[in-house]
Structure 1
Amino acid sequence: MQRRLLLAALFVTVAGCASPPPAAVHTHDPTSSTLQGDATRPAQAQWIRTELYFSVGTVDGKEGAVSPARWREFLDKEVTSRFPDGFTVFDAYGQWRDHGAKEPERLSTKVIVILHENNPQYAGNIEAIRLAYKRITGDLSVLRLSQPADVSF
């Protein structure tokens, strides 16, 4: 009887080890890596790199500051919902001189970089993000830079 229980326990343990590991971003065997990329993201697609520049307040922190919590809420609600596969955010410094102003505004800035396929849905998503931020902050503009990108995963 003990022998049967031991064999059953051994079988369950070995069967558990034989199941494949969950899908992951990183490989546990670097020698198996190839340049084939991610089959779900077609290499033949026409890709665009879009950068969006957002003022989060003056560098001295006196005017129009968007708190880190409010920025994160904006990302979660407006950006992640439209680009759930991912994007990158950089902290930056920017200057902007309005027409007729003597001095530029010195701004704390966030830059979002999104790599996306060139299609009307994604273009509309980009514009919706810009409009949402302008409505939230009252800013007159959110700079957009879009250019073709040669993308490989």
Structure 2
Amino acid sequence: MKKIFLAIALVSTFLFSCSAQSGEQAAETSDSAEAPTEQAKSKPDGDKEGMDPSNTSKDIHLVSPKSAEVPMGDAELVVRVEKENLTPEDVSVQVSMPMEGEADMTSLAIVEPGDKAQEFKIKTNFGMAGPWTVQVKAKDAEPATLAFEVK
């Protein structure tokens, strides 16, 4: 009987502490709901993002889409790498979305040759609305970080 009472007390304490943390986290989330959006739209130099979400590298430039706002779901990005004779195997991409209190959400990225020389298509899926980051690295090139606001 004592073991059952002790088990019930432990489970009750655990459930109470989890629900208290969940309530605090919900309050923090609602207080800072606008912060991630503004952070994703701001460049390091303070200018607003929108026309060119890629201005972070001298070697890698975003060709398409022209806007930092993209729809949720499957997406195709096109980047230009200012280096000659690169193949899709020379280009690596990491797609992620920061998650408060958890590890970043990631998405698979497939790199294919583009329609023009030095261009590469990046096929990915933005599975959730919010701020996403696409990090593009290429052999012998300065890496680029592209920021998107997924709607």
TM-score (norm 2): 0.33
More strand by share: 2
TM-score (norm 1): 0.33
Q: Give 1 or 2 for the bigger CA radius of gyration.
A: 1
Higher relative contact order (CA 8 A, sep 6+): 1
More helix by share: 1
